[in-house]
Structure 1
Amino acid sequence: MSRSQNVLLILSDEHRPGALGCAGHPHVETPTLDSLAAEGVRFTDAYCSSPLCVPSRASFATGRYVHEIGYWDNAAPYDGTPPSWGHHLTDHGVDHTTIGKLHFQPDVDDGFDDQVLTSHMETQDTFGLYRDPPHVRPGGRARIERAGPVPDGEAWYNADGPDHVCDENRFERAVEWIERRGERDDDEPWLLSVNPLIPHFPLEVEQSYYDLYPVADMDLPVDCPSVDDHPALEQLRNHFDGRDLDEEALRRTRSAYYGLVTALDDYVGDLLDALDRTDQAEDTLVIYTSDHGEMLGDHDLWWKCCMYEQSAGVPLIVRGPDIDVGRTVETPVSLLDVLPTMTDALGIPADPAWRGTSLLPFATGKREPNPDRTVFSEYHAHGVGRGFYMIRRSCYKYVHYLNGPDQLFDLDADPKELENLADHPDHRDVRKSLEAALRDLVDPVEADARAQEDQRRRRELSDDDGPSNTDPH
């Protein structure tokens, strides 16, 4: 890079990667994010390192895999160790502010000293401590069935009050922050991280957004009811209690979710407008991504917590100085690559403990990504008795389960992940190679045993008689 850049990081919550106009979705309207992709680079195959809020965010904060840091579930929020990228920026003198959801343990040194309208894990979701057997989540089905519209101005994400912790106020504060920063005379680079809750549940959206997506016109989930009776996935289906919903309810959840995505897109537009108004856009790397996806009934699954594309995949778009225009990169990448990408733009070194690699050389066309690049994800939390692990390389996705048969998908030939090739003789060598790559990263049995033991210990220390918090953000 010719000079240090500012960084605007927008990390939403539960945005499935296909829910973008620029990704070819037949219904979702995302003009802001489509324009961002048209002016920059979209990474089509990006993944989180664990498809659940707290583990994904702890992994992202530290740049390390979940099995390395031990934040396994939604009752284990990040407590400041190991150091975060916030600590790293402070150590290198970079001005940084975070607005919105962090989902860390409250009142700890998490490295993010300037926090605005923050939400942390005040009430922990302890279902991840009760995995043998997993419990059915009370209210899980009702959470799906109540999807629908609310009057404009009365949605949970835009409640009244200047200090209310809601997304509308978070974006307003972010716009004000950008405007104030634009009035300063110094050329020191800054980083602003904006972390909204939407399009996360609850699937309740303003009527005007809901009306953009007439229920009768909405698509239905893929593979629903599912033809796969995989033991781990059956546990998840039972846990969330979302099977056998009528067609109207299935379409209604999509109308509400797509409406939330479009509301988010409008808010992102406010941030980009502020960059333009203050003449900071040309000096700012903008990164849009999410902490994980959302199943929305595909494969008879809800929320996230699995390795299908809709859950483990995330959108990832970058735009900024020297970034190629209107390009897509299909090589698999990870959320953990965002950290060294940010420090690369800021002109400071990456932490050598981080697992990711800067994406700027790929996004600027200075280097072609390695076609054999391997991306890793794992899951150790509620709804399943044992952990499972994912390796993505080239067109193949391999999922290794400790309580069921493995899965292998050719995503080029089978993007809906309907044909498991794990036992196909023509793919024996592919499976063997991907399993070896997995075992180079982690001992699956050992990591699962550590997670289970830690969850048992925390369960015994808990005062609860059973799992709690049925509707976590």
Structure 2
Amino acid sequence: MAKNLLFLMADQLGAHALDGESREFLAAPHLARLREEGAAFTRAYTPFPLCVPGRSSLLSGRAPHEIGIDRNRPPEAVIEQFRAGPTLPRTLQENGFRTEWGGKWHAPRVEVCEADGFALTRPFGDAGLADWAAGRLDELTAAEQPFALFVSFDDPHTICEYARGQPMPYGDVEPAPVAETPPLPLNHGPLPYEPEALAHERAVGQNIHGTGTWGPDEWRQYRWTYARLVERVDHQIGTVLAALERSGAAADTLVVFTSDHGDGDGAHQWSQKSALYEECIRVPLLLRAPGGPSGRTVSAPVSTAALVPTLCAELGVVPPPGVGPGNLLEDAPAEDVVVETRIDHPASTTVGRSLLHGDWKYTVYSWGRHREQLHHLGEDPLEMRNLAVESRHGEMLASLRDRLLQRCLRDGDPFARRIPLPPELPAEVREQIFTPPY
């Protein structure tokens, strides 16, 4: 059992950057070592591919719709409700841990960070963050009180500033000759039977994020810059891990690395996040536990919201109320993973859900033509062939559609009324979906 927790987080780092073809164009030796020394979950998914909902769900262990956070600026009443509810840091603090946070908070607002269970916080920003964390590890170890240190890096989120042509807060990335940049991903271009809602949101987003006039060369420079930002994060993580070793606490410390969501990175001509494509929702998840497995790979779908019961189990703490038991390091993942999203632009809102069931992925958006997507990720990891329009996959489509419906009904997710419903749906189920009226 671990005595301490070191929780490392990046912002907007998709798993594809570390385990896909992109890894040929970047070096992340410190994360590679962490993977070798612990367990790697190669199909870990964010609960919501947007900063505040994703982080709030990750730290509370509850679904975004359950805590009412589905946007970066939730209503004040929702913020107050979240503050009053249980979270991982508050639970650890109540069990005698010294809890500290450094870097980006955003779950849901930085000024309430200390009220959410932290005895000490360091302001937003990557500049000097790794050195601050190294210093805190020395002091925390010397104090001999169990500690939980959360270190949250902003990069590679600053790719957003790059796309908008703005100065990058921690230093610009030197462009490379186009021939040396990563090629366009195979799924870069628009694909047949793409959801109309996504095509619309992409067009609106391209005007906001500055990518609407880009050609292949600009997209390749984007991917080059993103890779360099990932390398920056890896370097800083190396600084923190080296400090943990020097402190003498490594043998007693559970180390976690993950991200709040991914980045389109040019796939489907998508930058940023929010879409339910794999590049946006699949995130790295590495766990190194004292006495735990090393070099282990888990390929079943898991949600990063499951970190709360997992970390509590490894630290000998009862999970907070409303969070079920479970330990990703010991239990075989059994439940389907559901990812939520909401894309807000002026004059348009799109909500959606993805359900991961083994190698199958079912996605449905709230409006438009071809709003359902069906992919077998084992055969089509880049999501280039929408099987939802092929009649021979109708049985699987109906099965996964029903699995999502039953999950929504069980969990009180109002998205149930957005799922295409079969005409033979029992009247009592239909009443449950549409009561109260919307």
- Quickly name the TM-score band, shorter chain normalised: 0.7 to 0.9
Change (3 A) 1:356 1:14: farther
Is residue 58 of structure 2 the alignment partner of residue 60 of structure 1?
Answer: yes
Out of 37, 42, 45, the position equivalent to 2:43 is 45
Deviation of the 1:325 alpha carbon: 1.5
- The residue aligned with 2:18 is 20
**Structure 2: gaps of 5 or more residues:** 163-167, 419-438
- The residue aligned with 2:131 is 172
Change (3 A) 1:38 1:215: farther
Superposed CA deviations along residues 126-174 of structure 1, whole A, max 9, x for unmatched, are: xxxxxxxxxxxxxxxxxxxxxxxxxxxxxxxxxxxxxxxx213222111
In the alignment, the residues of structure 1 paired with residue 325 and residue 388 of structure 2 have an alpha-carbon distance, to the nearest angstrom, of 28
Letter in structure 2 aligned against 1:435:
R
TM-score (norm: length of structure 1): 0.77
In the alignment, the residues of structure 2 paired with residue 101 and residue 356 of structure 1 have an alpha-carbon distance, to the nearest angstrom, of 28
In the alignment, the residues of structure 1 paired with residue 413 and residue 135 of structure 2 have an alpha-carbon distance, to the nearest angstrom, of 49
Deviation of the 1:4 alpha carbon: 3.7
Contact 1:385 1:403 in 2 (8 A): no
Change (3 A) 1:23 1:42: farther
TM-score (norm: length of structure 2): 0.83
In the alignment, the residues of structure 1 paired with residue 414 and residue 235 of structure 2 have an alpha-carbon distance, to the nearest angstrom, of 45
- The residue aligned with 1:407 is 373
- The residue aligned with 1:446 is 414
Contact 2:185 2:267 in 1 (8 A): yes
- The residue aligned with 1:248 is 217
Paired residues for 1:254-269 under 5 Å: 254-269=223-238
Contact 1:225 1:300 in 2 (8 A): yes
In the alignment, the residues of structure 1 paired with residue 92 and residue 21 of structure 2 have an alpha-carbon distance, to the nearest angstrom, of 33
In the alignment, the residues of structure 2 paired with residue 117 and residue 90 of structure 1 have an alpha-carbon distance, to the nearest angstrom, of 17
Paired residues for 1:18-417 under 5 Å: 18-20=16-18, 25-76=23-74, 78-79=79-80, 80-103=83-106, 104-108=108-112, 110-119=115-124, 166-184=125-143, 186=144, 188-201=145-158, 202-203=161-162, 204=168, 210=174, 215-217=178-180, 218-228=182-192, 229-241=194-206, 242-354=211-323, 357-361=326-330, 367=331, 369-370=332-333, 372-383=334-345, 385-404=349-368, 405-417=371-383
Contact 1:296 1:303 in 2 (8 A): yes
Contact 2:66 2:413 in 1 (8 A): no
Deviation of the 1:283 alpha carbon: 1.1
Deviation of the 1:100 alpha carbon: 1.1
SS at match of 1:400: strand
- Among all aligned residue pairs of Structure 1 and Structure 2, give the percentage whose two residues are the same amino acid: 30
Contact 1:391 1:399 in 2 (8 A): yes
RMSD (Å), alpha carbons? 2.5
In the alignment, the residues of structure 1 paired with residue 253 and residue 376 of structure 2 have an alpha-carbon distance, to the nearest angstrom, of 37
In the alignment, the residues of structure 2 paired with residue 297 and residue 393 of structure 1 have an alpha-carbon distance, to the nearest angstrom, of 26
- The residue aligned with 2:397 is 431
Deviation of the 1:341 alpha carbon: 1.6
Greater shift in the superposed pair: 235-244 or 440-449: 440-449
Superposed CA deviations along residues 225-258 of structure 1, whole A, max 9, x for unmatched, are: 3124421111221121134512221111111110
Contact 2:86 2:320 in 1 (8 A): no
Change (3 A) 1:208 1:305: closer
Deviation of the 1:183 alpha carbon: 2.2
In the alignment, the residues of structure 2 paired with residue 421 and residue 22 of structure 1 have an alpha-carbon distance, to the nearest angstrom, of 23
- The residue aligned with 1:151 is none
Contact 2:49 2:274 in 1 (8 A): yes
In the alignment, the residues of structure 2 paired with residue 110 and residue 205 of structure 1 have an alpha-carbon distance, to the nearest angstrom, of 28
In the alignment, the residues of structure 2 paired with residue 219 and residue 266 of structure 1 have an alpha-carbon distance, to the nearest angstrom, of 24
Letter in structure 2 aligned against 1:234:
A
Superposed CA deviations along residues 73-129 of structure 1, whole A, max 9, x for unmatched, are: 11217441433222222222222111111112354464233242234xxxxxxxxxx
Deviation of the 1:379 alpha carbon: 1.0
Deviation of the 1:181 alpha carbon: 1.9
Change (3 A) 1:377 1:81: farther
Residues paired across the two proteins, number: 392
Deviation of the 1:41 alpha carbon: 1.2
Contact 1:337 1:359 in 2 (8 A): yes
Contact 2:87 2:320 in 1 (8 A): no
